[in-house]
Amino acid sequence: MKVTELATSLGTTPDTVRYYTRLKLIHPNKSVNGYKFYSAKDVARLKFILSARQLGFSVADIKQIISEAEHGKSACPLVRTLIKQRLDETEKQFQAMLALRQNMTSALTQWGTMEDKAPTPHMVCHLIDSFEHTHLGESDDCNES
């Protein structure tokens, strides 16, 4: 099966198939004319990869899981450990997003009755300047989203 056929059969894009091929997570056979052909094993492997990604596993996690399986070990203990780690990370991100949502709601409420002002040499926007810095919690860093 060719790239586009594989992608269509699994509801993904040819670029996704090519990406996992470049990462050597699936291994197509090359024909004389240069086309890549994917076997039933590749189909099963890509289906596994897509399912793992939907569960939040990283590419590095998937490589580690596949490595365990290729060495004849059950990957299940590793999968349980990794999903617990991903769930913990997701919970932290979720809590951070809830805090951000609360900050945004508070700001919108506070700013609803404030008048617009022109910038000054010491102020860009008085709305942001007026927002209590203590409300920001952990979002007082230089990370960009």
Reported as a pLDDT band with limits 50, 70 and 90, residue 62 is very high
Residue-level pLDDT at 139: 47
User: What is the reported pLDDT for 136?
Assistant: 47
Whether residue 80 lies inside any domain: the answer is: no
Tell whether 129 is covered by a domain.
Answer: no
20 is in which domain, residue-wise? 1-54
CATH number at 13 reads 1.10.1660.10
Asked whether residue 18 is domain-assigned, the answer is: yes
Q: In which band, very low, low, confident or very high, does the pLDDT at 133 lie, cut at 50, 70 and 90?
A: low
Q: What is the pTM of this model?
A: 0.74
The pLDDT tens digits of the residues spanning 75-126 come to: 999 999 999 999 999 999 999 999 999 999 999 998 998 899 898 888 899 8
Would residue 122 count as lying in a domain?
A: no
The count of domains in the chain is: 1
30's enclosing H/E stretch is strand 29-30
In a domain, 25, yes or no: yes
Measured CA distances, 42 to 2, 19, 34, 35, 99 (Å): 11, 13, 18, 15, 43
